[in-house]
Structure formats: structure tokens, C-alpha cells
């Protein structure tokens, strides 16, 4: 076979391999959308977006069943979303193009929260402030308190902040509990990504980069640490090159929780019990870097994993970032990198699911939203991961789905490997064709 003919055969073969690989994967993939059979569901979803850093194409969407009832896509990224009693939507956000930039160059990025009117597709109210960059600086969560106050988790300055009439009236600085860098706005230090009210003046706080959940009292400070540092290795909180937790005071302690319990988690929900006590209590959390949802129970002052969900509907969870225990006893999960929202029962059976157009951050079932307490799950893990994985390639495929949200959930390590083989074969064939042109 001459070189020119060989080149043509290689290029055609590479294309055929790629087409067959993608076609077979798509045909054999489970359905990521499941219509519910027990009544119409309304689900409010905050969509972070896509593109570089996932700060493009952000939106807030209301799903009625599996259909989009309305969508507001007027900003770079939206995060936590809550439907208020009057039908308006409160949402954490990040957006660029602001002229009021404080110490930073104009135009700049702002983060904060908005009150949105879905009927007129307008912004009723906004509280925001400039940030140094759009990376790891967002207000991911906001809670409405009484007396016109709003509670924010501020990732830029690593603090909790309460504002009233657009002015700060209280704050808790994480530097009072953790070793702090010289300037937290220059590094992704703690990545405080969620805050919920769990009692009178008591807040449940997710400290992502420490693998810990705190209960902070408005008067007393930290009164409980879930997944407290037990003296084990701190590698998961001090990953090379990421400059997360640092031992800035040199005492050898950075308050890093055990990653086998929770690892870089999001959006914990207090299910019941007395915060700060020794009696029984429960927390549900999206255990993101462990690719699962976990329920933790406290007994005699110790927190342990009581239930997990790692796979549902034939699909492994990929970096979930929200889990809510619903009033009907089911669990609503935001499966971020699979771009799906799903409702499962305690056995892990999917009762309803829908796919989103971009990377989702959080979802609430409405009316009612996230309940402050919910049914506890106990017993064995309902589902296990599928076998036959290709560890390095699978992780690379997941990372690619994060960078390129248009890649489908079924694009796995096998698909990535065969894609690479196809590209190499096509490259060799194209070279032969070029040399014999």
C-alpha cells in the first residue's frame, strides 16, 4: 500500500472509530431525565454557567416537571437561589462590567445578592461589592433574616456578613478560628460557600477547603466543628500549588478535617438536633470531592457517616454541590458535572430528574425551599459505584466536562482514550497525505 492510500485509510478509519465510539456511548447511556409519577414538581435552579471559570451564561430557571417555565439569564453566574413569599427570587450572583470598583481597576467584577422578579424579568434589588477577580471570590449563599437583614457567606474576605439597608451591621471573620494569610483576597484560602440559620442567632457554615462544617453563634463565635481535626494528615487541605490552608503561625495545626468523612463539601442542611450539644443530631451534605451525598449523625459528641449516595439512575454522581431533604422524605440532589437535578428516595431510586443547559450550582423544591429540619436516613449505603472504571482517564474526562460543559455526562475515560487514539491515527494519516500531496 502506497503512502497516500495508507494516509486516506488511516484518516477514514480514525473518523469511523470516533463516530462508532460516540454513537455507542450515547446509545448505551442511561437516561438522565426521569419524569415523576406522583404529581407535578416545581424546582428552582441556580445555574453557575459555563466557559472559563464557569462565569458565562449564568441563569436562574424554574422547572415545572421537566420543562422550563421561565429563565432569567442576565448575568455571568448565579448560585444559591430561594423563592420568597411574594414569588420573587433571592439569589447569590457574580457579574462583570461594573464601574464602581473601589480599589480595583474599572471595569471590574461584583458579587453579592439580588432580588429578582421573574414576572417582569427585572432586578428589584441588589447588594454587591467589587472583588479582585472572578475566581473563588463569590457570594455563594444568602439568607433572609428578620428586621430587613440579610446574611451572606463572603468568600472574597472569608467571613459571614449581615447587612441591613445596604450597610454591614455584623460580621464574623474566619481568621478568628483559622490561620489566616496576609491577604485572603489574593488566595483561595477557606472558600466559605454556604450559611444557613439553624437556631436563634446560630448559623451552619460550610468551610470547603478545611473539609469542615461549623456552627457559629452570633455572640459566642464557633460552638461546634463537624469533622474536627483529629491530628491526621493535612494533605487534602494543603494541596500542592493551590495555596489553600496554610500554617501561618507555625504551630503545625491548620484545622483540617478528615477527607474520608467530607472532602471539599457544599451546602450542608441541618436535619435536626441541638447545635453545639452532645446529643443526637444529623446533617445532610453534598460531599463534593468524594463524588457523593453524605448524611452525618452525631452521637455522644462524635460525628460519623450514616448514609451515602454515590450513584443514581445508573450514573455515578460527579461533584454534587447541593442536597436537600424534602418534606416527602426524598432527597433533591444537584449533580453538578453531570448537569442534572434529581430526586431520590432513601434507597437511591430516582423518582424524578432533569438535565440543565449549563453547570448547575443549587436547586430548591418550591414552594417551601430547603427545610430547616428533615427526615433522617439510617442503614446501609443504597448504591455502589459501577465497576470497570479507568481511574486516570475517568478523572480527566470529568475535568474536561467541567471545562467544556457541552460535553455529555456519558463522556467517560474510555471515550476520552478512544478519542485520543482516533486523533493520533488521524494525525499519522494526515501527515502521509501531506507528504504525498
Residue 222 confidence (pLDDT) above 70: yes
Mean pLDDT, residues 112-132 taken together: 97
3-state secondary structure of 159: strand
What are all long-range contacts of 244-247, with beta carbons under 8 Å and residues at least 24 apart?
Answer: 244/187, 244/188, 244/189, 244/190, 244/191, 244/209, 245/178, 245/179, 245/189, 245/190, 245/209, 245/210, 246/179, 246/181, 246/189, 247/179
What does the pLDDT read at residue 293? 97
Instruction: Report the run of H or E that residue 352 belongs to, with start and end.
Output: strand 350-355
Mean pLDDT, residues 96-118 taken together: 97
- Cβ-contact 285, 307 below 8 angstroms: no
Q: Is 347 exposed, middle or buried (0-12, 13-18, 19+ CB in 10 A)?
A: exposed
pLDDT confidence band for 170 (50 / 70 / 90): very high
Residue 61 confidence (pLDDT) above 80: yes
Residue 387 confidence (pLDDT) above 60: no
Query: Does residue 285 sit within a domain?
Result: yes
Residue 412 confidence (pLDDT) above 70: yes
Residue 423 confidence (pLDDT) above 90: no
Exposure b/e, 176-207, CB count within 10 A at least 16 = b? ebbbbbeebbebbbbbbbbbbbbbeebbbbbb
Domain carrying residue 380? 45-389
Rounded to an integer, what distance in angstroms lies between the CA atom of residue 264 and that of residue 357?
25
Q: Is 435 exposed, middle or buried (0-12, 13-18, 19+ CB in 10 A)?
A: exposed
pLDDT digits (tens, 9 = 90+) for 182-203: 999 999 999 999 999 999 999 9
Query: Does residue 143 sit within a domain?
Result: yes
What does the pLDDT read at residue 117? 98
Query: Does residue 359 sit within a domain?
Result: yes
pLDDT above 90 covers what percent of the chain? 66
Query: Does residue 40 sit within a domain?
Result: no
Q: How many residues does the chain have?
A: 437
- Cβ-contact 181, 195 below 8 angstroms: no
- DSSP letter at 419? H
Rounded to an integer, what distance in angstroms lies between the CA atom of residue 140 and that of residue 154?
8
Give the CATH number of the domain where residue 203 resides: 2.120.10.30
Residue 39 confidence (pLDDT) above 70: no
Query: Does residue 156 sit within a domain?
Result: yes
What does the pLDDT read at residue 140? 98
pLDDT confidence band for 213 (50 / 70 / 90): very high
CA-based nearest residue to 262, from 222, 240, 292? 292
Query: Does residue 329 sit within a domain?
Result: yes
**Residue with the larger pLDDT of the pair 80 and 397:** 80
Total domain count for the chain? 1
What does the pLDDT read at residue 225? 98
What does the pLDDT read at residue 430? 79
Q: Scan for cell 453531570, then name that residue.
A: 338
Query: Does residue 419 sit within a domain?
Result: no
Query: Does residue 172 sit within a domain?
Result: yes
Amino acid at each position: 500500500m502506497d503512502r497516500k492510500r495508507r494516509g486516506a485509510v488511516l484518516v477514514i478509519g480514525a473518523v469511523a472509530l470516533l463516530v462508532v465510539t460516540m454513537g455507542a456511548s450515547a446509545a448505551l447511556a442511561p437516561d438522565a431525565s426521569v419524569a415523576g409519577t406522583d404529581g407535578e414538581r416545581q424546582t428552582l435552579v441556580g445555574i453557575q454557567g459555563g466557559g472559563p471559570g464557569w462565569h458565562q451564561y449564568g441563569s436562574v430557571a424554574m422547572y415545572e416537571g421537566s420543562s422550563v417555565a421561565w429563565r432569567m439569564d442576565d448575568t455571568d453566574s448565579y448560585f444559591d437561589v430561594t423563592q420568597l413569599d411574594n414569588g420573587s427570587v433571592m439569589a447569590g450572583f457574580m457579574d462583570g462590567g461594573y464601574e464602581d470598583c473601589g480599589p480595583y481597576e474599572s471595569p471590574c467584577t461584583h458579587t453579592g445578592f439580588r432580588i429578582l422578579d421573574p414576572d417582569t424579568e427585572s432586578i428589584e434589588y441588589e447588594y454587591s461589592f467589587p472583588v479582585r477577580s472572578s475566581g473563588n471570590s463569590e457570594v455563594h449563599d444568602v439568607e433572609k433574616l428578620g428586621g430587613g437583614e440579610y446574611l451572606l457567606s463572603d468568600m472574597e474576605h472569608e467571613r459571614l456578613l449581615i447587612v441591613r439597608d445596604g450597610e454591614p451591621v455584623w460580621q464574623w471573620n474566619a481568621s478568628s478560628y483559622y490561620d489566616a494569610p496576609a491577604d485572603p483576597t489574593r488566595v483561595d484560602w477557606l472558600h466559605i460557600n454556604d450559611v444557613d440559620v439553624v437556631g436563634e442567632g446560630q448559623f451552619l457554615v460550610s468551610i470547603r477547603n478545611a473539609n469542615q462544617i461549623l456552627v457559629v453563634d452570633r455572640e459566642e463565635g464557633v460552638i461546634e466543628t463537624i469533622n474536627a481535626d483529629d491530628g491526621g494528615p493535612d494533605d487534602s487541605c494543603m494541596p500542592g500549588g493551590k495555596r489553600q490552608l496554610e500554617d501561618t503561625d507555625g504551630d503545625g495545626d491548620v484545622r483540617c478535617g478528615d477527607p474520608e468523612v467530607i472532602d471539599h463539601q457544599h451546602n450542608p442542611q441541618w436535619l435536626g438536633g441541638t447545635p453545639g450539644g452532645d446529643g443526637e443530631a444529623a446533617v445532610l451534605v453534598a460531599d463534593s470531592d468524594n463524588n457523593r451525598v453524605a448524611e452525618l449523625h452525631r452521637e455522644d459528641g462524635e460525628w460519623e457517616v450514616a448514609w451515602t449516595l454515590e450513584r443514581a439512575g445508573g450514573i455515578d454522581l460527579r461533584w454534587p454541590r447541593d442536597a436537600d431533604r424534602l418534606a416527602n422524605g426524598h432527597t433533591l440532589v444537584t449533580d453538578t458535572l453531570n448537569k442534572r437535578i434529581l430526586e431520590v428516595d432513601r434507597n437511591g431510586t430516582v423518582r424524578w430528574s432533569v438535565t440543565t443547559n449549563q453547570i448547575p450550582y443549587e436547586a430548591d423544591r418550591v414552594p417551601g425551599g430547603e427545610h430547616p429540619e428533615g427526615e433522617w436516613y439510617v442503614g446501609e449505603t443504597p448504591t455502589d459505584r459501577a465497576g470497570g472504571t479507568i481511574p486516570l482517564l475517568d478523572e480527566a474526562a470529568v475535568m474536561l466536562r467541567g471545562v467544556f460543559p457541552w460535553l455529555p455526562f456519558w463522556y467517560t475515560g474510555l471515550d476520552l482514550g478512544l478519542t485520543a487514539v482516533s486523533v493520533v491515527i488521524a494525525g499519522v494519516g494526515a501527515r502521509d497525505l501531506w507528504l504525498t500531496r
